[in-house]
Amino acid sequence: MKLRRAYNVLSWIAGIAGVGLFVWLFSSTDVVGSLASLPPVLWLSIPLYFVPLAAAVIGVAKSIPTASGSRIPPFFPLFTIRLAGEAVNNGLASAYIAGEPVKGLLAVRYGVRPRSGLALAMIGKTTNMAGELLWLILGIVVAAAMFGGGTPVVSMLVTITVVGGVIVALGIIVQQNRFLGRGMRLIQAIRLGPRKLWDRALPAADAIDDEIKSYYKTQRGDFVAAVFWGAMNWLLGTFEIWAFLVLATDVPNPLALALVLECGIAVVKAASFIVPASIGAQEGGIVWLFGATGIGAEMGMTYAVFRRFREMIWIGLGFLALWWHLRRGAALRVEPQASAS
C-alpha cells in the first residue's frame, strides 16, 4: 500500500510538471497559426488510424489461449475491447498496463474462458512489446543509415531496445514458470494480507499459469503471428507522421524519417510511463526529435498538438466502447433474472 501511495504521489507530481511543460512549449511557439495552415486533407489521417488498430486487434486474437476451449471473438467486438483497454492504458497513470486485464475480462463475454482472458492480459502485453522491439530494430537500422551510428537519436533507440529486449525475454521465461502461483505462495508465506484471501486465489492463479504455459508450448505459430501483427501495428502507425511530413514540410526521405521519429516517440512514451498519458513528456520528446533531425522545434510542437488531438479522439472512443460494454454486461445480468421471474 505504501509503494502504491508513493507511486500515485509521484505520478501526480509528474503529471503536474508535464502539464506545465506542455503549456510552456505551447506558449513559446505559434502552434495555433501552424495548425491553421495545415492542409485540410491531413485531418483525414485521424479516422485512418483505424488501420494500425485493426492490425493490433489481429495480434490480440492470436494472443488468446485456446487450449481450454476458448473461442476467438469476432473482429468488431474484439476491436472495441482493444479500444477500451487502450483508453484505460493511455487515460490512467498505470504505466500502460491497467487496460490489459480490462481487455481480458471483456473478452470473457464473447466466448473466451475466464482463465484465458486473464492469461491474455500478460500474453497480449508481451506479444505487443515483442512486436514493438522488431519495429524498433528496423528504426535503428534506418536511423543509423540516415544520421550515423553515434548520434543521440540512434543511441536512445539502441538503449531502450536492449532494455526492452531483456524485459520481454525475462517476461516470457517468468510466465512459463508459474509466475502467478509462485508469486502468491510467496506473498502467503510472508503473511502479507489475509491468508484466506490467498487460499481462495491460489487455484485461480494456478489455472491462469496453466493457460499461459500451454499457450507458449502449443500455440507457437499464434505467438509468432501475434508478434508479427504487433509489429505491423507499430509500422502502420507511422503513416500519420509520414503524411504530416509530406503535407506540412518539404523534408527529404519523409518515409524513413517518419519511421525514425515514430520510434523515438515510442521510446519517449515508454520512458515517461509514470506521467499520466505522457502529457508534456511526449510533447517535449517530439520537439526534441524534430529539432535533432533538422525539421525544427515549432513544427515539432505543431505535430505534437495534432497527435494529441488524435489521441484524445480515439481515447474518447475507447471510453465510449468501455461504457457500452459495461452497459451490455449489466443488461446480460438483468435479462436472466427477468426470464426467471
Single-letter amino acid code for the residue at 233: N
What is the pLDDT at residue 33?
86
Q: Residue 6 CB: number of other CB atoms within 10 A?
A: 10
Residue with cell 481480458: 104
Sign of the torsion formed by the C-alpha atoms of 247, 307, 283 and 228:
negative
Could you please report the per-residue DSSP string of 259-309? HHHHHHHHHHHHHTTTSGGGTTHHHHHHHHHHHHTTS-HHHHHHHHHHHHH
Up-side HSE of residue 211: CA atoms within 13 Å toward CB? 28
- For 199-257, how does the pLDDT look when each residue is reduced to its tens digit (9 = 90+)? 666 777 788 888 898 999 999 999 999 999 999 999 999 999 999 999 998 898 899 99
Q: Residue 277 CB: number of other CB atoms within 10 A?
A: 21
Residue 208 lies in a domain: yes
* Structure-block grid coordinates of residue 291: 529539432
Residue with cell 531483456: 166
Sign of the torsion formed by the C-alpha atoms of 57, 58, 63 and 68:
positive
Residue 260 lies in a domain: no
Q: What is the pLDDT along the chain (341 residues), one digit of tens a residue?
A: 566 677 667 777 878 888 888 888 888 878 888 888 889 999 988 999 999 999 999 999 999 999 888 899 999 999 999 999 999 988 776 667 788 889 999 999 899 999 899 899 889 999 999 999 999 999 999 999 888 877 888 888 898 899 889 989 988 888 888 777 676 666 666 655 555 555 666 777 788 888 898 999 999 999 999 999 999 999 999 999 999 999 998 898 899 999 999 999 998 888 887 888 888 889 999 999 999 888 988 899 999 999 999 999 999 999 999 999 988 765 444 444 444 43
Residue 3 lies in a domain: no
Residue with cell 487496460: 99
**Which helix (H) or strand (E) covers residue 135, if one does?**
helix 114-147
Domain assignment of residue 47, given as a range: 42-239+314-330
Residue 51 exposed, middle or buried by CB count within 10 Å (0-12, 13-18, 19+)? middle
Residue 300 lies in a domain: no
Say how many domains are in the chain.
Answer: 1
Residue 129 lies in a domain: yes
Residue 25 lies in a domain: no
- Vertex 288, ends 266 and 153: CA angle to 5°? 60
Residue 297 lies in a domain: no
Residue 325 lies in a domain: yes
CA distance linking residue 302 with residue 308, whole number of Å: 10
CA distance linking residue 249 with residue 299, whole number of Å: 8
